[in-house]
Every structure is written in C-alpha cells, then in structure tokens.
Amino acid sequence: MNKKSIKRAFCMFLIMSLCCLAGCGARQEAEAVSDIKEDDLIVVGFSQVGSESYWRNVNSESMRSVFTKENGYKLIFEDAQQKQTNQIKAIRSFIQQEVDYIVVAPVTEAGWDTVLQEARDEGIPVIIVDRMVDASSDLFECWVGSDFELEGRKMCEWLRWFCVKNNILAEDIYIADVQGTIGASAQIGRTKGLEAAAEKYGWNIVAQADGEFTRAKGYEVTQQLLKRNPKINVVYCENDDEAFGAIKAIEDAGKRVGSNIKGGEIMVVSFDGVKPEALQDVLDNSISCIVECNPFHGPRVEAIIRKLQNGETPQKYEYVDEDMFSAHEEIESVVVDSKQYPVTRITQEVIDRRIMEFDSGDYGDQAENVY
C-alpha cells in the first residue's frame, strides 16, 4: 500500500467509526426516550385559542417543541377554534383526566371564574399564557405574555413622531381601527393605547370594527370601512394577518398603500412581526410600522412548570421584551412613560437574519427574555 492509499484507508476507517458512533448515539437516544415510562411524565393540558393567525401557529409550535416526551412531558393539546365554550370544555376534560398542570391561552378575558375554581378545587395548578383572564388572581399560579397596552402606546408614539417629522397635522389624521377579537387582551390593550393617543394628540378615529385577528376579516372590514369613510388615511390593524387583508382591500379599492399620507397614500400599521412577509411589507413600505409581539412562550411556560415542580414560587406576572420595526430612518426610538424603546430599521439583512434565527430555533434564551 502506498502512502496515499494508507491515508485513504485511514480516512475511510475514521468516517465509518464516526458514522457507527453517530448511529449508536441516535439509537441510544431513541432507546432512552422509549425507556421513559408514561407514568413518570408530567402531564400538561394546554387549551390554545385556535389557529387564526401566523403568530398563533408559531406560538403553538413553541409550546409543542418543549412539552415533549424527551423533556419528560405528555402534552394534551386542545385547539378551541376561537371559542371560549370549547376552552371551558377542554379544561373540564383536563380535570377529568387528572393532568398535572393546566395551561390556558384564553380567547377573551371574561367568564373564567367558575371553571378555574373547579381546577383549583381539584388542586391542579393553572398557568395563563399570552392573553389574560379577568378573574381573581388566586385562581391561577401565574401569567406570562405581552403588555398589549404598551404595544399600542409604542405604536402611537411612532405615529405621532412620524406626523411631526413629516408636517402632518393631527386633525388631518383619519384612522380606521381594525380591531382584534373583541374582548381579547390583545384587542383591549391595543385599542386602549390608540384611543388614549387619539384623545391626547387630536387624531380622528373614524371607525372601529372587529377584524377577528384574521386576514379574511381584515379584508372584509377594511373594504367596508373605506367605502363608508373615504377620508381614512391610516389603518391601524391589531395584527399582521389583518394588515395583509387590509392592504389587499386598499389596493382592490383602487387606492395606494404607503406612508405618503400627504400624497394620498393610506398608511397601514400593525402588530406581531413574526411572519417574514410582514417584515418584507415593512421594507416595501406597505406596512409603515410593526410593533413586535413575541410568540415564543413554550420555554417560558416550561421554566414556570420546572419551578413549580421544585417547590419554588414563580413570578406572578411576567412580561416579555418586544421590538419595533420600520423602514423609516427618521424615528430611531420612541418614549413611553420615560422609557426609551428602540425602533429596528428594517433592511433585507435584518429580515434574512431573523429568518435564519427562526429556522435554526436560535432566538436567544426565550425563557430569560422577561421582566
């Protein structure tokens, strides 16, 4: 054998050994997972809102990805199809199945006392995620989600400075508020933020209607509102899916979408910033500003359950940090209650980086990203 063939043979041996090792590793891992006994698993019943938006689907995936057998959990996932009655049924069935934890992402805030009391009577801890419940705080262990009113206020500060910098008078602003599901915390907070700012700065809110956080409803509602109110020059969509519908409705009505309000364009702003297409719309100036809403609650809820398992007391309310996105350079940050919030300037690079981070599951330590 010459030197070259010895080298090649050695390489082959090395590759084969590595493959064998990797195979053994994978096999061992599979065996380890199948060794986990069903009885040892922590059973989590999760009642999810539905699948009304891209945000929601990413949120469901985030929950599914942590509550796995490998991590020591059995997840019972129930999709409520945007109906609270389905959530109440699901919670009652979780109680019957004697799950260890109940996690609820409530559709709307009101009407939870009775069923949460039933869970409490059975000694099952309840964790509320994303939206909030309007119930006595001793009926649940803790809550983790976004400060929706702050999101609305951040957006309105952005709009205010946009108007100042572009010499647009407050009285010339005519806003259509395409709301989220009425009674959901995300709707209540975002609407409240807008109403307070309109009052403070003198903007006109000419119409408000329920867009149910969906693209189809966002389209339908915007189409109707534009017909009835030809003066509308800002469409405040309470999520990106509604914004996709609104953009189409504006274009179908023969009008132009964009930030040039003085030039006759209709400005669209929205919330979430999860779907890459939404950020692309920011770059293309179809959406002028997005206030981020972070959907990665799976690791946060899992961290809470781990604490409860260890006999620790988790923080009662945990809010997640959130960004803002715009392609406009003139507003670098906004201030709400003396706190400064930077606005990330959207470029193709920023979009590509976010896509890469999301694809690889590397979006920072999400469980830590709370205050």
Binding segment for ligand GYE (CB under 6 A), chosen from 27-35, 52-60, 116-124, 200-208, is 52-60
Considering the complex, state which of residue 55 and residue 101 has its C-beta at the smaller distance from ligand GYE.
Answer: 55
Cβ 241 to ligand GYE shortest distance, Å: 6
Comparing C-alpha atoms, which of 79, 116, 67 is closest to residue 300? 67
Based on the shown chain and the rule CB under 6 A, indicate whether residue 297 belongs to the binding site for ligand GYE: no
Q: Which residues from 228-257 bind ligand GYE, rule CB under 6 A?
A: 239
Cβ 49 to ligand GYE shortest distance, Å: 7
- C-alpha–C-alpha distance, residues 54 and 36, integer Å: 33
Among 157, 272, 318, 322, binds ligand GYE (CB under 6 A): 272
Considering the complex, state which of residue 214 and residue 285 has its C-beta at the smaller distance from ligand GYE.
Answer: 214
Cβ 104 to ligand GYE shortest distance, Å: 12
- What φ, ψ does residue 287 adopt, rounded to 5°? -115, 125
- C-alpha–C-alpha distance, residues 201 and 153, integer Å: 12
Among 47, 48, 53, 270, binds ligand GYE (CB under 6 A): 53
Among 44, 47, 55, 102, binds ligand GYE (CB under 6 A): 55
Comparing C-alpha atoms, which of 322, 336, 268 is closest to residue 293? 322
Q: What is the CA radius of gyration of the chain?
A: 24
Based on the shown chain and the rule CB under 6 A, indicate whether residue 186 belongs to the binding site for ligand GYE: yes
Cβ 92 to ligand GYE shortest distance, Å: 23
- C-alpha–C-alpha distance, residues 46 and 304, integer Å: 14
Comparing C-alpha atoms, which of 302, 354, 306 is closest to residue 62? 302
Among 46, 56, 103, 144, binds ligand GYE (CB under 6 A): 56
- What φ, ψ does residue 347 adopt, rounded to 5°? -130, 170
DSSP 125: -
Helices (H) and strands (E) in the chain, counts: 11, 15
Based on the shown chain and the rule CB under 6 A, indicate whether residue 285 belongs to the binding site for ligand GYE: no
Coil, helix or strand at residue 130: coil
Cβ 150 to ligand GYE shortest distance, Å: 13
DSSP 50: -
Considering the complex, state which of residue 125 and residue 183 has its C-beta at the smaller distance from ligand GYE.
Answer: 183
Based on the shown chain and the rule CB under 6 A, indicate whether residue 130 belongs to the binding site for ligand GYE: yes
Based on the shown chain and the rule CB under 6 A, indicate whether residue 269 belongs to the binding site for ligand GYE: no
- C-alpha–C-alpha distance, residues 32 and 184, integer Å: 42
Evaluated on CA atoms 219, 223, 226, 229, the torsion sign reads negative
Q: Which amino acid, one-letter code, is at 154?
A: K
Based on the shown chain and the rule CB under 6 A, indicate whether residue 151 belongs to the binding site for ligand GYE: no
Among 213, 244, 296, 341, binds ligand GYE (CB under 6 A): 213
Judged by CB under 6 A, the number of residues near ligand GYE is: 13
Based on the shown chain and the rule CB under 6 A, indicate whether residue 131 belongs to the binding site for ligand GYE: yes
Based on the shown chain and the rule CB under 6 A, indicate whether residue 293 belongs to the binding site for ligand GYE: yes
- C-alpha–C-alpha distance, residues 177 and 184, integer Å: 15
Looking only at the bridges linking them, the beta strands covering 324-326 and 289-292 are antiparallel
Comparing C-alpha atoms, which of 240, 211, 212, 241 is closest to residue 223? 211
Q: Which residues from 57-116 bind ligand GYE, rule CB under 6 A?
A: none
Binding segment for ligand GYE (CB under 6 A), chosen from 50-58, 157-165, 300-308, 355-363, is 50-58
Residues that bind ligand GYE (CB under 6 A): 52-53, 55-56, 130-131, 146, 186, 213, 239, 271-272, 293
